[in-house]
Structure 1
Amino acid sequence: MSDSFGDTLSITAATVDPALLDLPWSIPLEQWTAEHIAALPKGISRHVVRFANLSGYVVAVKETSEELARREYDMLRTLQRLDVPCVEPAAVISGRLDENGDALATVLVTRHLRFSLPYRALFSQTLRPETATRLADALALLLVRLHIVGFFWGDVSLSNTLFRRDAGSFAAYLVDAETGKLYTGGLSKGQRENDLEVARVNIAGELMDLAAGGHVDEDLDPLVTSERIVSQYRMLWNELMGRESFASSERWRINERVDRLNALGFDIEELSIRTGQGGNEVVIQPKVVDAGHHTRRLLRLTGLDAEENQARRLLNDLDQWRQRFGRDQMDEEMAAHEWVAGVFEPVVRSIPRDLRGKLEPAEVFHQVLEHRWFMSQRENRDVPLAEALNSYVDEILRHRRDEAALLEPLTGSVTTPIRVSQGPEDWRTLV
């Protein structure tokens, strides 16, 4: 849908938010004042980018050419339909004029991904090797998912990616599709290798830049980390798309292959199985591979929407809870509903209001479970969940930076401690 406002301003969007008209489109982005800007950390960009508050959410506004803005808007909408992790396109605004009547650049507006951060904002002082490795692994998985749907990125880098915490790991989202192309017939090996080489060079350069500024741990090797994305990508691609041959007497390996793919977070919608001469050999190859196995199962059982590793962790806790409290013979969906009402929601509700922007609920729950495990190991006893939650809030969560609305990239605030509520209605099943 495209609407014109005033003499020249044109907004193209699936749904136009009237609040867009309140932003100062007659002023170049670099001249926007604090009253219009949401102070969120930005990655490195070749364009001028500003964040702005809009109807209760935040948008990223990027100045570019009209052709590139419309092309990227359409590409992001297509990737969303293909269920690829990327930012949500909101609008293209063209026909901007300044107060003198001179033309201003077209802008692409995207919704800011809550609880996401550019890689430079994921560390407080120095980037540790293990954090860099997790970032590379997340980017490798994103690149595999893009290549599976036939998307050639052309400019793979940490700077063109946003990261959300995912149960000790990270989930990566494409934030810049300006150079990307979608091929309905899939990508050639050469195109995939080209993206890999661009990723290797760009990531090495980005980490070297951080190292030059003294922002990485002395044990972090930028070249080793950049090679990590290549090796991780190839492992994932071979596991997901590779053919496997085995003797017909070893047909159990079909289930084993499916289980391995599920463990990586992928579902198989179709398998191609071919027997060899004389029926002595079986060749198996996944045909359609879709990510989000655990995410979909958690959503189906509980209605909770989480990242893949978060979903895996929550499902593990659900399964352990069912066994511990004799719910393993109960219908799975009924048990899941009881677990949400009696375990998950009480933890989320007990987080003080002033701390709820620190992390998304699924990540908080995961970290509470982690904290409980470490407390139990340290104190050599089974620590109750309510006690672990109080300790986690006071010792860890209260001192984290706010990732829903981070005001400064590398600073955080400490507030006055508030004890977590332990009302009996919330804790009757928490032990």
Structure 2
Amino acid sequence: MAAPELRLRAPLPGLLALPWDRALASWARPEVPLRDFAVGPSRHLVRFVESDGELWALKELPPHTGAREYDVLTRLEEMRLNAVRPAGLVWQPDFDASILLTRYLVDSWQYRRLFMRLPPDAPKHRARLLDAMAMLLVELHRRGVFWGDCSLANTLFSRDGQVLQAFFVDAETSEIHPKLSEGQRVHDISITVENVAAGLLDVAAGLGKPELQPGFIEEASSVRTRYERLWELLHTEPTFGFADRYRVEGTIRKLNELGFAVDEVSLQPVDERVDTPGALDADTRDSPSAEQVRLHVTVGDRRYHASRLQRFTGLDVGEGQARILLGDLQAYQGQLCRESGHTVDDRTAGQLWVKEVATPMMHRAHRAAAGTGTAIQAYCDLLEVRWLLSEQAGEDVGTDAALRALARRAVPSESAAQLMVVENPTEPFSAFEENA
């Protein structure tokens, strides 16, 4: 027998000791510490292993496909894009197969389990998933990544404050180019819309509710609109009068609100001799003597708020979480300034906030949420629930009331924390969910 060839980025003792010389289908307990997780439809065998204190996903593939997917995932990691992290590749010549090893994405879930728990009349939560998918596709396309098979089944979702983050899972059909053509982008979007529609129709069939299908198809089609709206914001180059430079700040604010850091702003004079229909805004087209400039914004990583929070506090969190936590930090900083009678700088306020407020409250919120997810996300849920309950009551209900709501899973339906309840139900999953 030919020995397998191992490429492990995490050469841990437990991983090295796995029976790589045997076909993945033959692995069994108790020799191998397998874990059972529901997975969506897959063309290839997928198994999960708990080893060296971590969870790992193993997928059996033809050698060429395995090497290609490993390389793509490695490139995505280098570009800091949302994707599962590759941990190794094993070539098994005796079986003409390879095993792709990736780190299990902790605190993530598949769409079926979530959709089966959401009431059909809760489009707001489904919209969070579709927004996350559109955002992921835009970020991939900006970096020259053609997915080729974007679907709900090939995407994992993780909570990030009041929004969701989508993660790229299956790279079998993916390609990375210096830049995508317009045709490649349009084709990838079309594949996505078609696959999302198929996934939602599958959910409707599993629920035994064919009357949901028309609405689900319309929601699937909205992915294209969500994508195009974001792509236009990132790539449009508006033209306006030089005296209207204040509009640059508005563009930057819109990008920052979405989490994008702005690396560079360029204002280029427009050649007035070139008559381009639609090039000038309506309020400047009637002023032929006005000096016209075209705005070009170079956008960096989508970690604007996360980078700010990390700079002040040292915390490394998701972009959506950072937006919530920065609001809490700013409120605490204002309180410090009032109590001390002088200005408290950002770094000092951040360090005190972590010690006096964030750390203890994260632990309390996490206990109230029965250990669901991360302590940071639990604190974000607590802040959101407290605000919503206070809005309903017309006064500040206090932290204790919000903690009790978290503990009872009695959070407002408008809250993203509702997903915590959906994700961790008290009743067992249905057969359809278990097979998802």
Q: Shorter-chain TM-score category?
A: 0.7 to 0.9
Match of 2:103 in 1: 111
Counterpart-to-counterpart distance in 1, 2:237 and 2:357: 42
Deviations, residues 14-33 of structure 1 (Å, cap 9, x unaligned):
34222113334354434443
Whether the 8 Å contact between 2:148 and 2:188 is mirrored in structure 1 is yes
Mapped pair 1:207 → 2:200: yes
Match of 2:310 in 1: 299
Counterpart-to-counterpart distance in 2, 1:217 and 1:295: 42
Counterpart-to-counterpart distance in 1, 2:359 and 2:93: 47
Superposition pairs of residues 73-84 of structure 1, within 5 angstroms? 73-84=70-81
Whether the 8 Å contact between 1:269 and 1:290 is mirrored in structure 2 is no
Instruction: Label 1:31 to 1:210 Cα distance change in 2 as closer, same or farther (>3 A).
Output: farther
Deviations, residues 228-264 of structure 1 (Å, cap 9, x unaligned):
1100110101101111111111110111111111111
* Amino acid in structure 2 at the alignment position of 1:341: K
Match of 1:140 in 2: 134
Deviations, residues 114-149 of structure 1 (Å, cap 9, x unaligned):
111111122453464222221111010000000111
Match of 1:121 in 2: 113
Instruction: Label 1:217 to 1:58 Cα distance change in 2 as closer, same or farther (>3 A).
Output: farther
The alpha carbon displacement at 1:409 in A equals 6.2
The alpha carbon displacement at 1:105 in A equals 2.4
Instruction: Label 1:352 to 1:322 Cα distance change in 2 as closer, same or farther (>3 A).
Output: closer
Query: Which of 310, 334, 342 does residue 323 from structure 1 map onto?
Result: 334
Match of 1:241 in 2: 235
Counterpart-to-counterpart distance in 2, 1:26 and 1:272: 57
Q: Which moved more, 1:114-123 or 1:353-362?
A: 353-362
Instruction: Label 1:168 to 1:218 Cα distance change in 2 as closer, same or farther (>3 A).
Output: farther
Whether the 8 Å contact between 1:41 and 1:117 is mirrored in structure 2 is no
The alpha carbon displacement at 1:7 in A equals 5.2
* Amino acid in structure 2 at the alignment position of 1:75: V
Match of 1:289 in 2: 300
The alpha carbon displacement at 1:69 in A equals 1.1
Match of 1:29 in 2: 24
Counterpart-to-counterpart distance in 1, 2:386 and 2:167: 30
Query: Which of 186, 189, 195 does residue 182 from structure 2 map onto?
Result: 189
Whether the 8 Å contact between 1:41 and 1:409 is mirrored in structure 2 is no
Secondary structure of 2:117's match?
Answer: coil
Instruction: Label 1:271 to 1:381 Cα distance change in 2 as closer, same or farther (>3 A).
Output: closer
Instruction: Label 1:34 to 1:217 Cα distance change in 2 as closer, same or farther (>3 A).
Output: farther
Between structures 1 and 2, the one with greater helix share? 2
Deviations, residues 371-398 of structure 1 (Å, cap 9, x unaligned):
2123323444322224422442244599
Match of 2:50 in 1: 53
Secondary structure of 1:291's match?
Answer: coil
Specify every segment of 5 or more residues in structure 1 that has no aligned partner in the other structure, as ranges: 1-5, 98-102, 412-431
Match of 1:252 in 2: 246
Deviations, residues 197-234 of structure 1 (Å, cap 9, x unaligned):
00010000110111111177965712211111100110
Query: Which of 3, 10, 31 does residue 8 from structure 1 map onto?
Result: 3
Secondary structure of 2:36's match?
Answer: coil
Counterpart-to-counterpart distance in 2, 1:357 and 1:22: 32
Whether the 8 Å contact between 1:166 and 1:310 is mirrored in structure 2 is yes
Instruction: Label 1:82 to 1:201 Cα distance change in 2 as closer, same or farther (>3 A).
Output: same
Deviations, residues 156-211 of structure 1 (Å, cap 9, x unaligned):
11111110012232101111111111111x11110000000000100001101111
Counterpart-to-counterpart distance in 2, 1:119 and 1:263: 26
Superposition pairs of residues 22-421 of structure 1, within 5 angstroms? 22-33=17-28, 35=30, 36-95=33-92, 97=94, 103=95, 105-126=97-118, 128-184=122-178, 186-214=179-207, 221-276=215-270, 277=272, 280-326=291-337, 329-351=343-365, 357-396=371-410
The alpha carbon displacement at 1:288 in A equals 4.0
Instruction: Label 1:381 to 1:288 Cα distance change in 2 as closer, same or farther (>3 A).
Output: closer
Counterpart-to-counterpart distance in 2, 1:410 and 1:312: 36
Secondary structure of 1:253's match?
Answer: helix
The alpha carbon displacement at 1:309 in A equals 1.3
* Amino acid in structure 1 at the alignment position of 2:347: E
Secondary structure of 1:90's match?
Answer: strand
TM superposition score normalised by structure 2: 0.84
Q: Which moved more, 1:384-393 or 1:146-155?
A: 384-393
* Amino acid in structure 1 at the alignment position of 2:196: I
Instruction: Label 1:8 to 1:279 Cα distance change in 2 as closer, same or farther (>3 A).
Output: farther
Match of 1:420 in 2: none
The alpha carbon displacement at 1:308 in A equals 1.4
Specify every segment of 5 or more residues in structure 2 that has no aligned partner in the other structure, as ranges: 273-288, 412-416, 432-436
Aligned residue pairs total 399
* Amino acid in structure 1 at the alignment position of 2:5: S
Secondary structure of 2:325's match?
Answer: helix
TM superposition score normalised by structure 1: 0.84
Secondary structure of 1:11's match?
Answer: strand
Whether the 8 Å contact between 1:144 and 1:236 is mirrored in structure 2 is yes
Counterpart-to-counterpart distance in 2, 1:89 and 1:256: 39
Whether the 8 Å contact between 2:111 and 2:152 is mirrored in structure 1 is yes
Counterpart-to-counterpart distance in 2, 1:335 and 1:309: 21
Secondary structure of 1:200's match?
Answer: helix
